[in-house]
Amino acid sequence: MTRVRQTFADLNRRLQQAWRERTIALKAVSFALVGLVNLVVDFGVFAVGYYVFGLPIITANVISWVIAVSNSYVMNSLTTFAAESGRQLRLRDYLTFALSQVGGLITNTTTVFVASYYVPVPVAKLLAIGVGFLVNFSLSHFVVFRRRENSTRH
């Protein structure tokens, strides 16, 4: 009888682990879809700033990042991390999200600046958005929207 219990306990543990891994994968896909919307926002604002207003690359990039990260917070709070955020928009959570995304901003800005010496600026910006995605998802999932054990958000 104890062997049967152990078998069921092992099965239960493996199923829970598979569910958690699936959840992370689904969140990454959702985060990427939000990211596609933000790619258009980020790239569009950057292009207008750089090409229309003649802003320096770094200035245009920071402005486009601020707008895109604000949009990302709203969309991810309402979709990707809805369970963790309770689909509530909070100033404190926005500031935490924006602060955590500074790692992505630094990565993004460094990439666009350095890559612009080797490839055309639009290609450099797209590369920067891709590299920033990896940093931003990691920080969002593991820092900002992590599930807290005694959280009042459900």
CA–chain centroid gap for 56, Å, is: 25
Tell me, yes or no, whether 46 lies in a domain: yes
Q: Output the CA–CA distances (angstroms, integers) from residue 83 to 101, 109, 149, in the order listed.
A: 20, 31, 13
pLDDT, greater one: 153 or 59: 59
Does the pLDDT at position 20 exceed 70?
no
The string of pLDDT tens digits covering residues 101-134 is 888 888 888 999 999 999 999 999 889 988 887 8
CB neighbour burial string for 15-44, b if at least 16 within 10 angstroms, e if fewer: eeeeeeeeeeeebbebbeebbeebbebbbe
Checking if the pLDDT of 150 tops 60, the result is no
pLDDT at 56: 96
Q: What is the mean pLDDT of residues 77-93?
A: 86
Is 113 part of any domain?
Answer: yes
Say if 35 falls within a structural domain: yes
Number of structural domains in the chain: 1
* 49: containing domain: 24-144
| Residue 110 domain flag | yes
Which of these, 107, 116, 112, lies nearest to 137 by C-alpha position? 107
| Rounded Cα–Cα distance for residues 27 and 33 (Å) | 10
In this structure, which long-range contacts are made by residues 11-14, counting pairs with CB atoms below 8 Å and at least 24 apart in sequence?
none
Residue 6 lies in a domain: no
- Residue at 16 is within a domain: no
> What pLDDT score does 40 carry?
92
pLDDT band for position 153 (cuts 50, 70, 90): very low
Question: What pLDDT sits at residue 146?
Answer: 67
